[in-house]
A and B are shown apart, each in its own frame.
Chain A
Amino acid sequence: MAQIKVPVVRNILQANDRLASENRNRFDEAGIFVVNLMSSPGAGKTSLLEKTIDALAARMGIAVIEGDLQSSCDAERIQKKGVQAVQINTDGGCHLDGNMIQIALDSLDLSQVDLLIIENVGNLVCPAEFNLGEHEKITMLSVAEGDDKPIKYPLIFQICSVLLVNKIDLLPYTDCDVAKIRQTSKQLNPAGKVFEISCRTGEGFGPWLSWIEEKVGEHRKIRAGAAVPPQADSH
């Protein structure tokens, strides 16, 4: 017996990243725009989905994958809107991963879908580390949670394309400073967009919906063959 050192240099999350990239290929083949929606519990993710579906369902096919520790309450809320929804129960797991999405996709008819929204498990830490194959990550923060969250949970604010600041109708009742949220999230993530919204009143939804429609349009062009997805040369 001898003690030896073996150089390895492997990404610990490589197994998840491989599955996420397989998911991404499926999305691109179908021309679907996919977002991974992340926030703490109660920030308003499911309400955002309901409002977004109400506004856009007549113009595009929408499907939802709901991630929760337990229960199918959220999927039922979404199904009432008449769109496809699959519930993933993580049974205590704090995040979704590439494998869970791969399994959930088998329950969806992707030919009918332009926009797939994956609602991650409510948590500002763990979901940030796991790619699902999405095109864009969306982070949502409600003003009731406080304006210090980008400083306390930097990764999830650093990696998102869009930060949705929700419940702005509650601002008069909180000490939350939205300018501070904008400033600290911009320092972390200069390219990220920030939309201030209220899922309860519908305030501020215009820019959010326009952003989604623009992205869906870009991915439809990929499906129509008018453009080639950037990674299409690998196979």
Chain B
Amino acid sequence: MHELSIAQSLLDIIVDESKNHRLGHVNLVRLRVGELAAVVSESLRFCFDLVSRDTVASGAIIEIETVAVTARCDKCDFSFEIKDRVFECPRCAEPVFEMVGGRELYVMSIEGETGEEDGADKGAGGS
């Protein structure tokens, strides 16, 4: 259920960026989510549909790119993908402590229509 908090934070970012870039409507949002992030995609989409109603991102499609869990070995500097959740270097069999990827929760881009037809004079202030 924390997907609701995440959806709200995502919407806050989208509203902020759409103001910055004068988007009248956002119809596509691309996310990058690590495999180890505790986020269920379908739940996030469902929650986003709820929180984005009557906003600039109402009806937007959420595209999610999943990022594999990767790590780097302290001993031999080898970077590799973690398989079966074993944090051990496949080259030198040392335990690895540094996770490089796999916990991402990023907005990568938003796409939408510019709001020019509303008249640029409408919200000149910007904040």
Contacts and interface: CB of A to CB of B under 8 A. Distances in A.
Interface string B1-27: 110011001101100010001011001
A191 B10 contact: no
Contacts of B106: 9-12
Contacts of A186: 95
A89 to B, nearest CB: 16
A3 B111 contact: yes
A8 B2 contact: no
Nearest to B9: A12
A72 B9 CA distance: 28
Contact of B108 (A9, A158, A190): A9
Contact of A1 (B21, B103, B115): B115
B97 A129 contact: no
Contacts of B17: 6, 8, 10
B2 A6 contact: no
B112 A4 contact: yes
Chain B interface main SS type: mixed
Contacts of A4: 21, 23, 111-114
A155 B86 CA distance: 13
Listed residue (A12, A16, A125) with the most chain B CB atoms within 10 angstroms of its CB: A12
Nearest to A128: B38
A57 B96 CA distance: 37
B44 to A, nearest CB: 10
A188 B105 CA distance: 20
A188 B5 contact: no
Nearest to A15: B9
A3 B109 contact: no
B6 A12 contact: yes
Interface in B82-127: 85-88, 95-97, 99, 103, 105-117
A154 B83 CA distance: 13
Interface of B: 1-2, 5-6, 9-10, 12-13, 17, 21, 23-24, 27, 31, 36-39, 85-88, 95-97, 99, 103, 105-117
Interface of A: 1-16, 93-95, 97, 125-126, 128-130, 151, 154-156, 158, 184, 186-191
